[in-house]
Amino acid sequence: MLLSHTSGLGVHGFDDFLPGEAVPTLQQTLAGTAPAKNAAVRFKHAPGTTNDYSGGGYQVAQLVLETVAGAPLDALARDTVFKPAGMARSTYASPLPAAYGNIAKAHDENGRLIAAPRGWQTFPQAAAAGLWTSANDLGAFAGVLIRSYQGKDAFLPRAVAVRMMTEVAPSGHGIGPRLSGEGTTRIFHHGGANDSYRAWIEGYLETGDGIAIL
């Protein structure tokens, strides 16, 4: 339910943090206490009764993962997703250090540079909003998911990939991505948007095609 946005939890998304701003811990984010800018992550609906997109639910999922594994999300993702999928330019590092290199600068809706002097914001809510990546890495991610679904890649067992790509009622999401179409047009997809950046990923489960746009 957390991963398919059917948990009933609130908080759709999270604001960006400019360079120099204090950033919240995960616990402060969930409680909605300063310096978090969001309301507390609390139930809006009974679990399993409706689809309501919840970045807050993903922060709860992050807390569960980090507590059980005893490691931060960035390390977990690096070992279990980024390295196996060949995603060398992906990280949840926060704030992203300048040494990362080749970082897209943040602009407002009028094309003006913001987040001076560094040039990019901080996204402390890692699971919901904190992935830094490249189009090539997102394409590689789509590729391993498609091949796992087709039984052609060991990244995920096929049964797990099929379950991931099956809608969780009453949502249009599977376990993670949004799903639509049928036959050769059956796709998984997800968009990303904050103050300064836009992203889109789409994978065709039957044909093996896909796109990643930043």
Rounded to whole angstroms, how far apart are CA atoms 164 and 63? 21
What global pTM score does this model have? Answer: 0.95
Encode pLDDT of 183-206 as tens digits.
999 999 999 998 899 999 999 999
Encode pLDDT of 39-89 as tens digits.
999 999 999 999 999 999 999 999 999 999 999 999 999 999 999 999 999
Mean pLDDT computed over every residue of the chain: 97
Q: What is the pLDDT of residue 164?
A: 98
- The residue-averaged pLDDT of 93-101 equals 95
Q: What is the pLDDT of residue 93?
A: 96
Please report, rounded to a whole number, the percentage of residues in the chain having pLDDT higher than 70: 100
Encode pLDDT of 107-160 as tens digits.
998 999 999 999 999 999 999 999 999 999 999 999 999 999 999 999 999 999
Amino acid in position 179: L
